[in-house]
Structure 1
Amino acid sequence: MMQQGASDTSASASRAAAANADLPAPGSSTSPDHRPQWSPIDFPRLQMSTPARLALATTGAFAIGMGLGATHGGRTAQLRFRAEHAHRMPVRTTDWYFYHRSKNYHAVYGGLREGLKMGARLGLWAFGLVWLEHTMDRYRGRADLISTVVASLSVSGGVSLWNRFPLTTVARTTKQALGFGLVFGGLQDVLALARGNSVGYVDFVRRRLGSPASSK
């Protein structure tokens, strides 16, 4: 029985050694069979993970929309207040004080309301853009400006469809979205190449020209 137990132990050790031999060594390149599934964390855009980019893009777009909307809304509210009270302008100093106080109140309220609306709108668009960009990266297995262009055009098409823009406005927003996608995606690709990351269409062109593709 002791010999049988020793033989079982040696057989188990042999199987474990064989299993460990199949695993890649730490720091070595993995074979295609053991290569992990592509993840955007491997080549993060702007050296940031997707949740961080979502939060930054949404917050930044909301802040920009808040500032623009508050400025436009405040001026519009002031003009509306003056138009509504043009037929009964104040005469005394006290009346002028209350007039300007009411005008400032309407300006602040109108600016805050319009700022929140525009900030939420731009924040939603930015969130959708980054999320669609990330989805295209996951679907295609690579991160480059093609995903950014597709995401920009998708958001532009959704906004145009939601607002029921005429064809001329749809064409203009589509051109703007295409330009934004090319510029923003191109800048991301330039930064990725500068850091030694791989860019899909650049590697394709290099393979066609016979030069080695960049790898990280």
Structure 2
Amino acid sequence: MKAWRKHHHEALKLDSRMSIPYGARLPLCTSISFLCGMALGISHGSQTAGLRFRAENAHRLPTSPTGWYLYHKSKNYNTALGGVKEGLRMGGRIAFWTAGLLAIEDMCDRWRGRKDVVNTVVASLSVAGGFSLWNRFPITTAARTAKTGLVFGIAFGLVQDAVGYARGRRLGYVDFDFITGGGGGKGRKEEDEGLRFEI
């Protein structure tokens, strides 16, 4: 039983994208995207909050050392608070769209029965379309967003395929015999039957 579990775990890693099963890849990528979004949001939000505070108080600048001390203290507080709020907001948004991308990609993987760049492109274009609809972008902006999603999907999908192929995962568009239904597909079927017989 222990040997079967080990073999099943190795087979699952081999068949998974980036050698990470979907159950582990989803929270990992979502957490990383949240942290990246939070870092960007804190930087942008703190700068915006600082400029807003200066603009709102430009007509009542302090005239004493104590007043300047309280002014800068209030400014730092507002800057930090604005940065944290914007960081959480942006991190949550990026994590949400990242989770959507991975979920659609995994759904396409299961539906098509293979993991390749096509599913990643479909997922990235779907997320780009959903993002454009959510923000009510005009046609030109939506087209630019779709183009960015297409480029990202192709690049990210090819990277995943390259990693999977290097670790031994078969790719339909690389293995010509498998595409044409020749010896490659037959050999894979025989390998799968032999694996089931050994288990």
CA distance in 1, matches of 2:158, 2:177: 15
Number of corresponding residues = 178
Query: By how many angstroms is 1:51 displaced?
Result: 1.1
Q: Deviations over 1:83-135 (max 9, x none)?
A: 00101111111100000000001101111111111000000001000111000
Q: What runs of 5+ residues in structure 1 fail to find an aligned partner?
A: 1-26, 28-38
CA distance in 2, matches of 1:79, 1:114: 14
CA distance in 2, matches of 1:197, 1:42: 6
RMSD: 2.3
Is the contact between residue 45 and residue 87 of structure 2 (CA under 8 Å) also seen in structure 1?
Answer: yes
2:114 paired residue among 96, 120, 142: 142
Is the contact between residue 61 and residue 126 of structure 1 (CA under 8 Å) also seen in structure 2?
Answer: yes
* Alignment partner, residue 97 of structure 1: 69
CA distance in 1, matches of 2:125, 2:168: 28
The answer to whether the aligner puts 1:112 opposite 2:81 as a matched pair is no
Query: By how many angstroms is 1:41 displaced?
Result: 5.9
Query: By how many angstroms is 1:203 displaced?
Result: 2.2
* Alignment partner, residue 62 of structure 1: 34
Map 1:25-174 to 2 at 5 A. 43-174=15-146
Q: Percent identity?
A: 51
User: Segments of 4+ in structure 1 off by > 3 A?
Assistant: 39-42, 204-208, 210-216
Q: Which protein has the bigger helix share?
A: 2
The answer to whether the aligner puts 1:188 opposite 2:160 as a matched pair is yes
* Alignment partner, residue 179 of structure 1: 151
Greater RCO, CA 8 A, separation 6+:
2
Give the match's secondary structure for 2:15. coil
Is the contact between residue 40 and residue 138 of structure 1 (CA under 8 Å) also seen in structure 2?
Answer: no
Is the contact between residue 77 and residue 106 of structure 1 (CA under 8 Å) also seen in structure 2?
Answer: yes
Q: What runs of 5+ residues in structure 2 fail to find an aligned partner?
A: 5-10, 192-199
TM-score (normalised: structure 2): 0.83
TM-score (normalised: structure 1): 0.77
Quickly say closer, same or farther: Cα 1:204–1:40, change in 2 above 3 A: farther
CA distance in 1, matches of 2:97, 2:75: 33
Is the contact between residue 172 and residue 178 of structure 2 (CA under 8 Å) also seen in structure 1?
Answer: no
Is the contact between residue 45 and residue 188 of structure 1 (CA under 8 Å) also seen in structure 2?
Answer: yes
Quickly say closer, same or farther: Cα 1:172–1:51, change in 2 above 3 A: same
